[in-house]
Structure 1
Amino acid sequence: MNRTDVEDYLQEGIYGAKETKPGERRRYLGTLRERIVLMLTKGQVMQQKGMDELAEQMKEHKDAKLLMNGKVGYKFRKAYSRLADRHQIHVTSVLDQEKETDVGVLLVVDYAIEKETIEVETETKPSVQEEKEKGVKGFLKRLFQPL
């Protein structure tokens, strides 16, 4: 054995196998972004948003798997698990106590698909500027407004 082979073997024994893109794997429940078909955040899962988009993508990608964040409560994950069962998609719950991520559910494939947008857009609250443009006045403006 070469000296470099022995050193690599020892390093792997001490620190574990080398991973490609560890930051990406931490965020996306152990998978790479290039393999993700659709992503839902924890908030979207708890509000049961994105179910229609997920069902649509499950129909298109029959060979996909559903990865669910184990830190999200079972009562929130149950509906997504049932949806995957209806489409005969394998479900895996990923629980890693050391890594924190905002990802709730991922629909992934075993090969790279390089999809441009993987996140589901949901309705957001209008910003303060948008409210002002609509004529909604804040509390202080109403307080100091002449009678």
Structure 2
Amino acid sequence: MSEDKMDLYLQQGMYGPFETKPDERHLFLGSLRERVVLALTKGQVLRSKPYKEVEHELKNSHNVTLLINGELQYQSYSPYIQMANRYGVPFKIVSDLQFHTPLGIVIAADIAVNRELIYIQDDIYNRSVLKS
């Protein structure tokens, strides 16, 4: 075994498997930008009424997963879990205390979809972006 391969093997043993685009994965709750169908900021998830766009994507998209930021309170994202259950979409609550993201919910596909517009741009989104 070459020295480079041995070093890679030791690095993965100590720190876990090599991960492509770690910053992008932290931002999109473990997914990559190219797989994101729709994303909401934390502030948008806290809105009293769930977004119809989320329901539309959960209902009409195939092979997607609803990723939820574990920093949020359950009552803020429970309507989205109910939607996911209604349409048979799996969901994951992502809790990574090392990394913080402004996103609250991400709908991610199993494969790259490369959507140009993944954010719902409203007043809440604009306040979140301006604050960052």
TM-score, structure 2 normalization:
0.88
4+ residue stretches of structure 1 with deviation over 6 A? none
Alignment of 1:1-147 (within 5 A): 1-48=1-48, 51-123=51-123
Structure number with the bigger relative contact order (C-alpha 8 A, sep ≥ 6) is: 2
Aligned Cα root-mean-square deviation (Å): 1.4
- Distance in 1, matches of 2:29 and 2:39, equals 11
Question: Counterpart of 2:127?
Answer: none
Q: Which consecutive residues of structure 2, in runs of 5 or more, have no partner in the other structure?
A: 125-132
- Distance in 2, matches of 1:69 and 1:52, equals 19
Deviation at 1:33, TM superposition (A): 0.5
Q: Which consecutive residues of structure 1, in runs of 5 or more, have no partner in the other structure?
A: 125-147
- Distance in 2, matches of 1:48 and 1:3, equals 57
Is the Cα contact below 8 Å between 1:40 and 1:50 reproduced in 2? no
TM-score, structure 1 normalization:
0.79
SS of 1:97 mapped into structure 2: coil
- Distance in 1, matches of 2:41 and 2:63, equals 22
How many residues are paired up? 124
- Distance in 2, matches of 1:118 and 1:77, equals 19
Q: In percent, how many aligned pairs have the same letter?
A: 37
